[in-house]
Amino acid sequence: MKIGELTKGFFRENPLFVIVLGVCPSLATSGSLQTALAMGAAVIFVCVGSNVGVSLLRKVIPGGVRIACFIVVISTFVTITDLFLKAYFPDISRTIGIFIPLIVVNCIMLGRAEAFASKNTVMDSLLDGIGMGCGYTLALLLMGTIRELSGNGSLFGVKVLPGYNPMTVMISPPGAFLLLGLLLGFFKWMQLRKAAAR
Amino acid sequence: MSLERIFLIVIGNLFVTNFVLARFLGLCPFVGVSKRTSDALGMGLAVTFVMAMASVLTHTIDSYVLRPQAPLLVALAGAESQIAREGLQAVLRTLVYILTIAAFVQLVEMFLKKNIPALYRALGIYLPLITTNCAVLGVALLNTPEDPAEMLTLPEAVIQGTAAGLGFTLVMLLMAGIRERIEALDLPEPMRGMPIAFVCTGLMALAFLGFTGMV
CA distance B87 to B84: 5
Q: How far is CA A186 from the centre of its chain?
A: 19
Side-chain-side CA neighbours of A183 within 13 Å: the count stands at 23
pLDDT at residue A1 in the model: 56
- Burial code of B183-212, b = ≥16 C-beta within 10 A, e = fewer? eeeeeeebbbbbbbbbbbbbebbbebbebe
Those residues of chain A that have pLDDT short of 70 are 1-2
| CA diameter of chain B | 69
Which residue in the set B22, B134, B195 is minimally distant from A185, CB to CB?
B195
Interface mutation vs chain B, best among A107, A110, A177, A194, most B CBs within 10 Å = A177
| Chain B residue with Cα closest to A189 | B190
B139 contact residues in A (CB cutoff 8 A): none
Helix (H/G/I), strand (E/B), else coil: A154: strand
Q: Please determine, for residue B171, whether its predicted confidence score (pLDDT) is greater than 80.
A: yes
Q: Please determine, for residue B196, whether its predicted confidence score (pLDDT) is greater than 60.
A: yes
Cross-chain Cβ contact B201/A177 below 8 Å:
yes
DSSP state of B153: P
Instruction: Report the candidate in A170, A124, A117, A120 with the shortest Cα–Cα distance to residue A148.
Output: A170
Cross-chain Cβ contact B27/A23 below 8 Å:
yes
Contact B47, B29 (CB under 8 A): yes
Interface mutation vs chain A, best among B132, B133, B204, most A CBs within 10 Å = B132
Classify burial at B89, counting beta carbons within 10 Å of its beta carbon; exposed 0-12, middle 13-18, buried 19 or more. middle
Residue A107 near chain B (CB below 8 Å): yes
Handedness of CA A31, A32, A33, A38 (dihedral sign): negative
Residue A72 near chain B (CB below 8 Å): yes
Q: Please determine, for residue B1, whether its predicted confidence score (pLDDT) is greater than 80.
A: no
Which residue in the set B21, B190, B201 is minimally distant from A188, CB to CB?
B190
% of chain B at pLDDT higher than 90: 45
Per residue in B44-90, pLDDT tens?
A: 988 999 999 999 999 999 999 888 888 888 888 777 777 777 778 88
How far is the first Cα of chain B from the last one, in angstroms, to the nearest whole number?
Answer: 17
Average pLDDT of the residues in B108-133: 81
Cross-chain Cβ contact B196/A185 below 8 Å:
yes
ipTM: 0.88
From B70's Cα to the closest Cα of chain A, the distance in A is 21
Average pLDDT of the residues in B169-175: 94
How far is the first Cα of chain A from the last one, in angstroms, to the nearest whole number?
Answer: 29
Average pLDDT of the residues in B85-103: 87
Question: Of B149 and B168, which is predicted with more confidence?
Answer: B168
The chain B residues in contact with chain A (CB within 8 A) are 21-28, 31, 90-95, 98-99, 102, 131-134, 137-138, 141-142, 189-191, 194-203, 205-206, 209
pLDDT at residue B117 in the model: 86
Cross-chain Cβ contact A98/B142 below 8 Å:
yes
Average pLDDT of the residues in B141-155: 88
Helix (H/G/I), strand (E/B), else coil: A158: strand
